[in-house]
Amino acid sequence: MNIILLGAPGAGKGTQALRIEENYRIKHISTGDIFRHHMRQQTDIGNLARSYIKKGQLVPDEVTLKIVEIALEDAGKINFMLDGFPRNINQAKALDGLVAIDKVINIDVDLKVLTDRICGRRNCMECGYTAHVSTLSDGVCPKCGGEMYQRVDDQEDTVRSRLEVYTAQTAPLIEYYEAQGKLASVNGMGAPDEVFAEIRKVLG
Ligand code: AMP
């Protein structure tokens, strides 16, 4: 099964992706994670991506499409879950020319709660686990003991532009995939386990 996870920044795509990966044999492909990896390694792609990511803007399509094509090849173009891609109609059309998508899961949240969720978000360096800062007693990952850090683009100013980009460029994908008959929306306002229970109903 080839899946796309759609949803605004902070909707819980990464959190649910980890659960889906654990419970179904599906390879998780996160363009954000790939860019962050390149940034840490200071590759040309990473240095270019950083200048956009820091401002809350999208990395240009030609660069993003290149990393997605490589990731899809690595996954054998089968049994994968795209998280954070596509983010605009142009990327979605390009993806249609590359692989067949079976289902698009849209994690639906009230945009008003997102600024707090994202600004308080901390991520584990080691395993990618995500938690709100209010639930952490120290800077250590409750899952693996790795170091928790705040992403460069999780500060308030950047979050504002990310949400604007989402509304203008990414939200139209909901209609795009609805028209293809592939869209399933789940309520993303509940606790992670509740959201995952809804996703299970969709994936079977
Ligand atoms: P994410 O981890 O999915 O929130 O992505 C973090 C940042 O990486 C985004 O705000 C964008 O700057 C960049 N990015 C991730 N995926 C894409 C994409 N599909 N197209 C363009 N930029 C992307």
The enclosing domain of 178 has a CATH number of 3.40.50.300
Q: pLDDT value at position 191?
A: 94
Report d(CA 64, CA 90) in Å as an integer.
11
Per-residue pLDDT tens for 118-144? 999 999 999 989 999 999 999 999 999
Q: pLDDT value at position 69?
A: 98
The letter for the amino acid at 46 is G
Ligand 1 atom having least distance to the Cα of 30: 3
Of the candidates 19, 55, 151, 182, the residue annotated as catalytic is 151
**Which tokens belong to 60?**
């240009």
Task: Identify whether 21 is part of a domain.
Answer: yes
What's the domain range around 178?
3-26+79-109+156-203
Residues flanking ligand 1, CB < 6 Å: 9, 31-32, 35, 52-53, 56-59, 64, 84-87, 91, 153, 162
Q: pLDDT value at position 84?
A: 98
Task: Identify whether 34 is part of a domain.
Answer: no
Total structural domains within the chain: 1
- 75-95 in b/e form (b: 16+ CB < 10 A) is beeeebbbbbbbbbeebbebb
Task: Identify whether 195 is part of a domain.
Answer: yes
Bond prior to 192 in cis (omega within 30° of 0)? no
CA of 160 to the centre of ligand 1 (A): 14
Per-residue pLDDT tens for 72-109? 999 999 999 999 999 999 999 999 999 999 999 999 99
